[in-house]
Structure 1
Amino acid sequence: MEQTYFDKTVPQALEQVKATADGLTAQEAARRLEEHGPNQLAEGKKKSPLVIFLEQFKDLLVFILAVAAVISMVSGNVESTLVIFAVLIMNAVLGTVQYLKAEKSLESLKAMSAPVAKVLRDGVRQEVAGPQVVPGDIVYLEAGDLVVADGRLLECYSLKVNESSLTGESEAVEKTADALPAGKTALGDQKNMVFSGSLVTYGRAVMLVTGTGMNTELGHIAELMNQTQQRKTPLQKSLDDFSGKLAAAILAICALVFCLSLFRSGMGLLDSLLFAVALAVAAIPEALSSIVTIVLAMGTQKMARQNAIIKELKAVESLGSVQVICSDKTGTLTQNKMTVQKIWADGKLVEAKDADMSDPAQELLMKIGLLASDATVDVASGASVGDPTEIALVNWGGMHQTDANSVRSQFPRLGELAFDSDRKLMSTLHRVNGKPMLLTKGAMDVLLARSEKLLTAKGVVPLTDEMRAAIARANEEFSENGLRVLAFACREMDAERELTLEDENGFTFVGLVSMIDPPREESKQAVADAKRGGIRTVMITGDHKVTATAIAKQIGIFEEGDIALEGVELDAMTDDELDEKLPHISVYARVSPEHKIRIVSAWQRRGCIAAMTGDGVNDAPALKKADVGVAMGITGTEVSKDAAAMILADDNFATIVKAVVNGRGVYTNIKNAIQFLLSGNMAGILAVLYASLMALPVPFQPVHLLFINLLTDSLPAIALGMEPARKGLLDQKPRDPKASILDKPLMFKILWQGALIAIASMTAFYLGLSAGGAAMASTMAFATLTLARLFHGFNCRGTESIFKLGLGSNKYSLMAFAGGVVLLAAVLTIPVLEGLFSVTALSGVQYLQILGLAFAPTLLIQLGRVIRGK
Structure 2
Amino acid sequence: MDTEKQRWHTLETEQVLSSVKSDRQQGLSGAEAESRLEQYGPNALSEGKKKSVLQVFLEQFKDLMVMILIVAALISLATGEAESTIVIFAVLILNAVLGTVQHFKAEKSLESLKAMSAPSAKVIRDGVRTTVPSPQVVPGDIVELEAGDMVVADGRILENYSLKVNESSLTGESEAVEKTADVIPKGDVALGDRKNMVFSGSLVTYGRAVFVVTGTGMDTELGKVAALMNQTQQRKTPLQQSLDNFSKKLAIIIMAICALVFVLALYRQKPILDALMFAVALAVAAIPEALSSIVTIVQAMGTQKMARQNAIMKDLKAVETLGAVSVICSDKTGTLTQNKMTPQKIYADGMLLDGDQLDLANDVQRLLLKEALLASDATTDKETGAEIGDPTEVALVMLGNRIGVDEVAYRRQHPRLGELAFDSDRKLMSTFHSVEGVPTLYTKGAIDVLLERSAWLLTSQGKVEMTQERRAEIARVNTELSRQGLRVLSFACKELEAVRPLTLEDERDFTFVGLISMIDPPRPEAIQAVADAKRGGIRTIMITGDHKITASAIARQLGIFRDGDEALSGVELDAMSDDELDQRLEKISVYARVSPENKIRIVGAWQRKGRIVSMTGDGVNDAPALKAADIGVAMGITGTEVSKDAASMILSDDNFATIVKAVVNGRGVYTNIKNAINFLLSGNMAGIFCVLITSLANLPMPFAAVHLLFINLLTDSLPAIAIGVEPAGKGLLDQKPRDPKEPILTRSLLTRIMVYGALIAAATMGAFFLGLNNGGDALAMTMAFSTLTLARLFHGFNCRGESSLFRLGLTTNKASLGAFAAGVVLLAAVLFIPGLTTLFQVAPLTLPLAGAIVGLALVPTLIIQAWKLIRDLKKGR
TM > 0.5: yes
Structure 2 counterpart SS, 1:323: strand
Kept in 2: contact 1:323–1:609 (CA 8 A): yes
- Note the C-alpha offset of 1:603: 1.4
Q: 2:290 is matched by which residue type in structure 1?
A: A
- 2:479 and 2:193 map into 1 onto residues whose CA distance is 24
Residue of structure 1 aligned with 2:653, choices 630, 650, 662: 650
1:758 maps onto 2:764 in alignment = no
Kept in 1: contact 2:45–2:642 (CA 8 A): no
Kept in 2: contact 1:113–1:131 (CA 8 A): no
- Note the C-alpha offset of 1:62: 1.4
Residue of structure 2 aligned with 1:818, choices 812, 816, 821: 821
- 2:498 and 2:192 map into 1 onto residues whose CA distance is 41
Residue of structure 2 aligned with 1:263, choices 262, 267, 283: 267
Residue of structure 1 aligned with 2:258, choices 254, 258, 267: 254
- Partner in structure 2 of residue 738 of structure 1: 741
- Partner in structure 2 of residue 118 of structure 1: 123
Residue of structure 2 aligned with 1:335, choices 322, 333, 338: 338
Q: 1:246 is matched by which residue type in structure 2?
A: L
Residue of structure 1 aligned with 2:794, choices 791, 805, 812: 791
- 1:11 and 1:82 map into 2 onto residues whose CA distance is 71
1:224 maps onto 2:236 in alignment = no
Residue of structure 2 aligned with 1:587, choices 574, 587, 590: 590
Residue of structure 2 aligned with 1:433, choices 424, 433, 436: 436
- Note the C-alpha offset of 1:49: 2.1
- Partner in structure 1 of residue 364 of structure 2: 361
Residue of structure 1 aligned with 2:92, choices 88, 94, 101: 88
TM-score by length of 2: 0.93
- Partner in structure 2 of residue 547 of structure 1: 550
- 1:360 and 1:370 map into 2 onto residues whose CA distance is 16
Instruction: Decide whether aligned partners of structure 1 residues 606 and 4 sit closer, same or farther in structure 2, where only a CA change above 3 A counts.
Output: farther
Kept in 2: contact 1:112–1:197 (CA 8 A): no
Kept in 1: contact 2:99–2:296 (CA 8 A): no
Kept in 2: contact 1:372–1:440 (CA 8 A): yes
Stretch deviating more after TM superposition (853-862 or 300-309): 300-309
Q: Deviations over 1:704-743 (max 9, x none)?
A: 1111111111111111112222222222211110110001
Q: 2:863 is matched by which residue type in structure 1?
A: L
Stretch deviating more after TM superposition (355-364 or 273-282): 355-364
Structure 1 counterpart SS, 2:611: coil
Instruction: Write out aligned runs for 1:422-501 (5 A).
Output: 422-501=425-504
Residue of structure 2 aligned with 1:238, choices 226, 242, 253: 242
- Note the C-alpha offset of 1:113: 7.8
Structure 2 counterpart SS, 1:414: strand
Structure 1 counterpart SS, 2:524: coil
Kept in 1: contact 2:636–2:652 (CA 8 A): yes
- Partner in structure 2 of residue 346 of structure 1: 349
Kept in 2: contact 1:320–1:660 (CA 8 A): yes
Structure 1 counterpart SS, 2:165: strand
Instruction: Decide whether aligned partners of structure 1 residues 6 and 363 sit closer, same or farther in structure 2, where only a CA change above 3 A counts.
Output: farther
- Note the C-alpha offset of 1:859: 1.5
- 1:294 and 1:357 map into 2 onto residues whose CA distance is 63
Residue of structure 2 aligned with 1:851, choices 849, 854, 866: 854
Q: Deviations over 1:88-112 (max 9, x none)?
A: 1111222223344557989999999
Stretch deviating more after TM superposition (35-44 or 125-134): 125-134
- Partner in structure 1 of residue 573 of structure 2: 570
Kept in 2: contact 1:40–1:111 (CA 8 A): no
Kept in 2: contact 1:454–1:461 (CA 8 A): yes
Instruction: Write out aligned runs for 1:272-311 (5 A).
Output: 272-311=275-314
Instruction: Decide whether aligned partners of structure 1 residues 805 and 134 sit closer, same or farther in structure 2, where only a CA change above 3 A counts.
Output: closer
- Note the C-alpha offset of 1:671: 0.7
Structure 2 counterpart SS, 1:498: coil
Stretch deviating more after TM superposition (835-844 or 37-46): 37-46
Instruction: Decide whether aligned partners of structure 1 residues 567 and 12 sit closer, same or farther in structure 2, where only a CA change above 3 A counts.
Output: farther
Structure 1 counterpart SS, 2:175: coil
Stretch deviating more after TM superposition (382-391 or 72-81): 72-81
- 2:435 and 2:679 map into 1 onto residues whose CA distance is 81
1:71 maps onto 2:75 in alignment = yes
- Note the C-alpha offset of 1:35: 5.1
- Note the C-alpha offset of 1:528: 1.8
- 1:28 and 1:668 map into 2 onto residues whose CA distance is 60
Instruction: Decide whether aligned partners of structure 1 residues 470 and 666 sit closer, same or farther in structure 2, where only a CA change above 3 A counts.
Output: same
- 2:717 and 2:14 map into 1 onto residues whose CA distance is 74
Instruction: Decide whether aligned partners of structure 1 residues 649 and 35 sit closer, same or farther in structure 2, where only a CA change above 3 A counts.
Output: closer
- Partner in structure 1 of residue 540 of structure 2: 537
- Partner in structure 2 of residue 149 of structure 1: 153
Kept in 2: contact 1:109–1:222 (CA 8 A): no
Q: Deviations over 1:654-700 (max 9, x none)?
A: 22122212211221111111001000000000101111111111111
Stretch deviating more after TM superposition (273-282 or 821-830): 821-830
Stretch deviating more after TM superposition (609-618 or 432-441): 432-441
Instruction: Decide whether aligned partners of structure 1 residues 44 and 110 sit closer, same or farther in structure 2, where only a CA change above 3 A counts.
Output: farther
Kept in 2: contact 1:108–1:639 (CA 8 A): no
Stretch deviating more after TM superposition (281-290 or 818-827): 818-827
- 2:203 and 2:764 map into 1 onto residues whose CA distance is 71
- 1:734 and 1:35 map into 2 onto residues whose CA distance is 51
Structure 2 counterpart SS, 1:522: helix
Residue of structure 1 aligned with 2:420, choices 417, 422, 426: 417
Kept in 1: contact 2:102–2:300 (CA 8 A): no
Stretch deviating more after TM superposition (212-221 or 29-38): 29-38
Structure 1 counterpart SS, 2:295: helix
Instruction: Decide whether aligned partners of structure 1 residues 370 and 582 sit closer, same or farther in structure 2, where only a CA change above 3 A counts.
Output: same
Q: 1:533 is matched by which residue type in structure 2?
A: G
- Note the C-alpha offset of 1:759: 1.0
Q: 1:234 is matched by which residue type in structure 2?
A: P
Kept in 2: contact 1:108–1:638 (CA 8 A): no
Q: 1:235 is matched by which residue type in structure 2?
A: L
1:700 maps onto 2:703 in alignment = yes
Structure 2 counterpart SS, 1:427: strand
TM-score by length of 1: 0.94
Kept in 1: contact 2:28–2:141 (CA 8 A): no
Kept in 2: contact 1:106–1:222 (CA 8 A): no
Flag structure 1 segments of 5+ consecutive residues without an equivalent.
Answer: 182-186
Kept in 2: contact 1:5–1:13 (CA 8 A): no
Q: How many residues align?
A: 862
- 1:695 and 1:382 map into 2 onto residues whose CA distance is 83
Q: 1:705 is matched by which residue type in structure 2?
A: L
- Partner in structure 1 of residue 562 of structure 2: 559
Q: Deviations over 1:200-245 (max 9, x none)?
A: 1111223343322211111112212222222111111111111111
- Note the C-alpha offset of 1:262: 1.9
Q: Deviations over 1:33-72 (max 9, x none)?
A: 5654443335113333223322322222212212222222
Q: State the Cα RMSD in Å.
A: 2.8
Q: 1:117 is matched by which residue type in structure 2?
A: K
Q: 1:375 is matched by which residue type in structure 2?
A: A
Residue of structure 2 aligned with 1:511, choices 514, 521, 526: 514
Instruction: Decide whether aligned partners of structure 1 residues 777 and 125 sit closer, same or farther in structure 2, where only a CA change above 3 A counts.
Output: closer
Instruction: Decide whether aligned partners of structure 1 residues 508 and 822 sit closer, same or farther in structure 2, where only a CA change above 3 A counts.
Output: same
- Partner in structure 2 of residue 747 of structure 1: 750
Instruction: Decide whether aligned partners of structure 1 residues 24 and 547 sit closer, same or farther in structure 2, where only a CA change above 3 A counts.
Output: same
- Partner in structure 1 of residue 188 of structure 2: none
- Partner in structure 2 of residue 395 of structure 1: 398
Flag structure 2 segments of 5+ consecutive residues without an equivalent.
Answer: 186-190
Q: Deviations over 1:169-199 (max 9, x none)?
A: 2211111235899xxxxx9983222111111
Instruction: Write out aligned runs for 1:595-614 (5 A).
Output: 595-614=598-617
- 2:847 and 2:458 map into 1 onto residues whose CA distance is 102
- 2:167 and 2:627 map into 1 onto residues whose CA distance is 21
1:709 maps onto 2:719 in alignment = no
- Partner in structure 2 of residue 184 of structure 1: none
Stretch deviating more after TM superposition (592-601 or 327-336): 592-601
- Partner in structure 1 of residue 52 of structure 2: 48
Instruction: Decide whether aligned partners of structure 1 residues 107 and 530 sit closer, same or farther in structure 2, where only a CA change above 3 A counts.
Output: closer
